[in-house]
Chains A and B, each alone.
Chain A
Amino acid sequence: MTRDRSSERTSLWAKAWYKFRRDRIGVVSLGVVALYFIVALGVWLGLWGQGWSQVDGPMWAPPGPDHWLGTNIIGQDIFERAIYSTKTAFEVGLVVAVLSTLLGGFFGALAGYFSNSWVDELILWLMGVLDAIPFYLFVAALAYALQGYPYAMHIAMIATFWTTTARLVRGEVIKLKNFEFVEAARAIGLPRRLIIFRHITPNTFHILLVQATIVFVGAIKSEVILSFLGLGVTDGVSWGLMIAESTQEVQAGHFSNFITASLFLFFLVMAFNMFADALQDALDPKKVAA
């Protein structure tokens, strides 16, 4: 699985990358996402955004050379806090996207391959139950059950977001398992484990990748809402917490905190959505193979 794989894979990836590069909106949005990513990486490495919790100014200072975007209700630098929140957003987005995609791919493939058997029934039932619980109620219940555990929000999102991926993968696998190459794999005596996870699931890769980007955006947006409700981030700052703070400030006529957090969120979500769109087009197997 390791050696000369890079050279083997070039043809498919090269074609997708070639198509992606010609999509101007895709390239620009990728640039924006990359910029956000670098900011988040810098925070993680301790290069900037470290003063997010310091109280080093007067309350509600206007934007200026000391505080580029002013200060909040207790005198913390809004720009620092927004920068630090980028890291929070990426952390939530990546963790939730990766884990829920793995989970969804795994259960979706199982359910699809064993469709109409008890395995499928069980997984469908589980997905139905999870989908039926209102999301915020579920998170609140989990947060309460886990009593201040900082990853309660992540767990809640993963537990609910994987179902969409699983449903998509299930459908695709049901289609794929009747293809001749699956029958051929069976005819040469490969065990089911190999057939499902090596021969069928890689064929759903385009779905998994696009679905992961969609979940990434969904997780960031949900984080903001959950933090606003006090159910989200507890050990840092996030755009959601900033917006929550600003409820009092807006009434007093100070909009900087609210606008900053909203714009940071807006540009990331917007860029990521456009990137996901372009990626979907570039990875469409029918167009790539041509």
Chain B
Amino acid sequence: MTRSGEPLLRVRELAVEFSTERGPVRAIDGVSFDVLPGETLGVVGESGCGKSVTALSILGLIPSPPGRIAGGSIRLQGRELVGLPERDYRHLRGKEVSMIFQEPMTALNPVLTVATQMTDVLMRHQGMSRRQARRRAIEMLELVEIPSPEKRIDDYPHQMSGGMRQRVMIAMALSCNPRLLLADEPTTALDVTTQAQVLEEMVRLQQKLGTSVVLVTHDLGVVAESCHRAVVMYAGRIVEEAPVEELFEHPRHPYTEGLLQSIPRIREEKLPELPTIPGSVPDLLELPPGCRFADRCYKADDRCRQQEPELELRCDIAVACFHPNRYAGCPES
């Protein structure tokens, strides 16, 4: 990789397998990426491409059985996480790596107050007394701009709005100053205006605390707004990785190109119909021998159908395609 600095998180050739009635399925297969300190990495793809599985496997939360990590390595600050005993993982979760979930409605416990849920984490990881933990929790709520936090902290989740709950989730996830925050579709369940606020909050806090973020989403708009780099996943594999501006300006992989074209644009009035990518995601149990995207790709040829392209890195951009789009400025072979 040409980016400077030691990565905070280094994922290499990660594969996660789920056993099903029809045999084992590789939900992700050979996923590799780095996250630098203070960086926000977007993980984009459609439903079922393995985005969430990637995030969960970093936290060691793949439901097992049926799931298991079938290979590869996940290193956090040089420490191997694959095969780490559950006991050690528990000290890591919340303290070093934290996670925000999609549904703020169900991710907070309905019968416990916000105070209880927040202080539990702090008392466990920071060894605080209940009183100290409460003070810290109020500070965190203030940080995510919850009005009169010293009162709202004693609320039950059902007394809060969706956006507020998601902000509580963010506050809780960041309360122990983790180095890495995994956000699994953090704004999907919110309405658009709240989405923007919550996202802004996340970016602001991330800059302030220097946390690295892995942002899993299917929403390219969210990626454009808040990420430095992005990884595009398709059917359990990474097809392209690039800095966000580059990804949006010059998509190399035909899938990325298709994704970008299928975003509605208000400015362009001429398009009679929104372009879509024909076909659908292949069944992970019956993968084609070649490129997984070949059946839907306008560029696919015989080679694509027989041989699987590897992720190749050139000028800070990695693409897994035999016929990537070429742009000026980067000397490609």
Contact = CB atoms under 8 A, between A and B. Distances in A.
B229 interface: no
A144 interface: no
B90 A203 contact: no
Nearest to B109: A181
Interface residue SS majority, chain A: helix
Contacts, number: 79
B107 A188 contact: no
A7 B169 CA distance: 23
Contacts of A184: 99, 101, 107-108, 169
Contacts of A183: 61, 101, 107
A47 interface: no
Nearest to B93: A189
B106 interface: yes
B21 to A, nearest CB: 16
B159 interface: yes
A187 interface: yes
A199 interface: yes
B111 to A, nearest CB: 5
B312 interface: no
A12 B110 CA distance: 10
A186 B124 contact: no
A226 B99 CA distance: 56
Interface residues of B, number: 34
B124 A185 contact: no
A285 interface: yes
27 contacts: A4-B154, A8-B113, A8-B154, A11-B159, A12-B111, A12-B156, A179-B106, A180-B101, A180-B106, A180-B107, A181-B106, A184-B101, A185-B109, A186-B93, A187-B59, A187-B94, A188-B98, A188-B99, A188-B120, A189-B89, A189-B93, A190-B120, A190-B124, A194-B120, A198-B120, A199-B112, A203-B110
Interface of B: 59, 61, 89-95, 98-99, 101-103, 106-113, 115, 120-121, 124-125, 154, 156, 158-159, 169, 172-173
